[in-house]
Amino acid sequence: MSKMKTKGILNRDVTQKECRWLDEDLKEGTIVYQFFGCTYGCVDSGVPVTLEQDKTPFNEVPWDAVDWIG
């Protein structure tokens, strides 16, 4: 059985123009972690991620912006 990958790296910039809810642009190469806590219905079609493992706050980024590495 393979372990689900929950650590990712952004494969492109994710900007506030694309995701207006971001506090700042996220740069290509940023490490992110999939968030599994309650999102209160805030995530629409992307993936909830955090910048620190098992921490909040979370942000939604497009699925295609993340390459899952571990």
* Domain region containing 46: 1-70
Whether 2 has a pLDDT exceeding 70, the answer reads no
- Per-residue pLDDT reduced to its tens digit, 18-54: 999 999 999 999 999 999 998 989 898 899 999 999 8
Q: CATH number for the domain including 70? A: 2.30.30
Q: Please state the domain count of the chain.
A: 1
CA distances from residue 61 to 2, 14, 46 in whole angstroms, order as listed:
25, 7, 5
Beta bridge partners of 59: 49
Please state, in angstroms and rounded to a whole number, the distance separating the CA atoms of residues 6 and 21: 22
CA dihedral for 57, 62, 63, 68, sign (positive or negative): negative
**Structural contact between residues 8 and 33, judged by C-beta atoms closer than 8 angstroms:** yes
